Structure 1
Amino acid sequence: MNSAKKYVVGLTGGIGSGKSAAAEIFRALGVEVIDADALAREVVELGQPALSDIAAHFGSGILTDEGNLNRAALRKIVFSNPEHRSWLENLLHPLIAELLQHRLNAAKSPYTILESPLLLETEQYKLVQRVLVIDASEETQIDRSVRRDGSDEEVIRSIIASQIDRLERIQHADDLVTNEESLEQLRENIETLHSKYMRMVT
């Protein structure tokens, strides 16, 4: 567990559940949010050793003309092939965990949010004292994801299938927000939780 001085709430949910929208609301309330996805992008930026390893493993077709990672191409490969996905996770997860710990240690707000889609699938859950799950039906997840990034429905379904089962995720929740309604309703729910967390840490 993390030290008592650093109270960390793990924020997770499936693709298209609204966890990023929830994270933005926490940010607006003055809470520091560490985004595991952003750190995952950071460790594969141009010039990083991990990017060279990925290109060597999957071939140069995984790179854009500028030499950056082609995320759409990589996503198609790893979410349709468990062995490729496992190789990539074994490469990236330790790098991301090290960076996460560094950022959490540097956080200054009364409590910190660790936003991660893979909080429960990786050992990131060991960094948090509490788990907040943002939940939405699979139909809602698919609809939001397709509208948000124009992703192929089949790709979204394969990502959902690769993530922890929705009901299992809910079972790990200390706090659960069902996000099927408006952004305003989500904001009200997050503000209520923020007040609760502030009472817990002060």
Structure 2
Amino acid sequence: MKIGLTGGIGCGKSTVGRLLEDAGFCRSDSDEIVRDLLRSDEGVVSEVIGHFGEGICADGGGIDRSKLAKIVFNDDSTLKWLESLLHPRVGEIWRARLATQAKQNSVVEIPLLFEKNLENAFDFVVCVFCTREQQLTRLASKGINRQMALARISNQLPLNVKTARADISIFNNGSLDFLKRQTVKLLDVLN
């Protein structure tokens, strides 16, 4: 079984992904793939520096993602450029993983799954959602200020659209224990 896992930023996709991994699913996280590409893929790093300049470099090498985010989430053209560079590479990686895991249950976390029309790559699409205030609270706890959080949220489809398009939705406004119980129910439904 191949699950596409999506939802809004700060809604808990990665937590559900890790819970599914704990239950035996092979897990791929698109955000982690992006982090790896921006940290260690020489071709990607070179192209990003070529486009944005040396000031985008991180101290330890690779790209400083917080500097990059401040630029791209305030300028649609730079965001589109970055997505055109990263998204094909990210897709190649998770598709290759799915191919090697064909006989195993797999979950792929893709924040922009519906925005990029990727739902047909999966047997089921699960959307994790919460209230806007909960999103903002969670993002603030990660050091993302309200203005930047709202900019990132606005670059995704509204959560009501994502939940309507998903096969199954999980509301994550409660405790971790509540989310764990919902994930167990999800597994019961899928099996």
Of 8, 14, 32 in structure 2, the residue corresponding to residue 14 of structure 1 is: 8
Structure 2 residue 158 is the aligned partner of structure 1 residue 165: yes
Alpha-carbon shift at residue 176 of structure 1 (Å): 0.8
> What percent of counterpart residues are identical?
30
Alpha-carbon shift at residue 108 of structure 1 (Å): 6.1
AA paired with 2:115? E
| Stretch of structure 1 that moved more, 176-185 or 108-117 | 108-117
Of 7, 32, 36 in structure 1, the residue corresponding to residue 26 of structure 2 is: 32
Q: 1:44: which partner in 2?
A: 38
State the distance in 2 between where 1:119 and 1:13 align.
Answer: 9
Q: Is the 8 A contact 1:32 1:108 kept in 2?
A: no
Shift of the 114–54 alpha-carbon distance from structure 1 to 2, 3 Å rule, reads same
Q: 1:3: which partner in 2?
A: none
Of 131, 142, 153 in structure 1, the residue corresponding to residue 136 of structure 2 is: 142
Q: 1:194: which partner in 2?
A: 187
Unaligned runs of 5+ in 1: 1-6
Shift of the 108–127 alpha-carbon distance from structure 1 to 2, 3 Å rule, reads closer
Q: Is the 8 A contact 1:30 1:109 kept in 2?
A: no
Q: Is the 8 A contact 1:35 1:116 kept in 2?
A: yes
**Runs of 4+ off more than 4 Å:** none
The alignment partner of 2:69 has SS state of helix
State the distance in 1 between where 2:163 and 2:98 align.
Answer: 24
Using structure 2 for the length normalisation, give the TM-score.
0.94
Shift of the 190–98 alpha-carbon distance from structure 1 to 2, 3 Å rule, reads same
Aligned residues: 191
Q: Is the 8 A contact 2:24 2:105 kept in 1?
A: no
AA paired with 1:153? R
Q: Is the 8 A contact 1:76 1:155 kept in 2?
A: yes
Structure 2 residue 45 is the aligned partner of structure 1 residue 77: no
The alignment partner of 1:181 has SS state of coil
AA paired with 2:166? A
AA paired with 2:152? I
State the distance in 1 between where 2:109 and 2:40 align.
Answer: 24
Unaligned runs of 5+ in 2: none
Q: Is the 8 A contact 2:37 2:44 kept in 1?
A: yes
State the distance in 1 between where 2:37 and 2:148 align.
Answer: 24
Root-mean-square deviation (CA, aligned residues, Å) is 1.4
Tell me the alpha carbon deviations over residues 56-96 of structure 1, each in whole angstroms, 9 at most, x when there is no partner: 00111111233321000000100010000001111111111
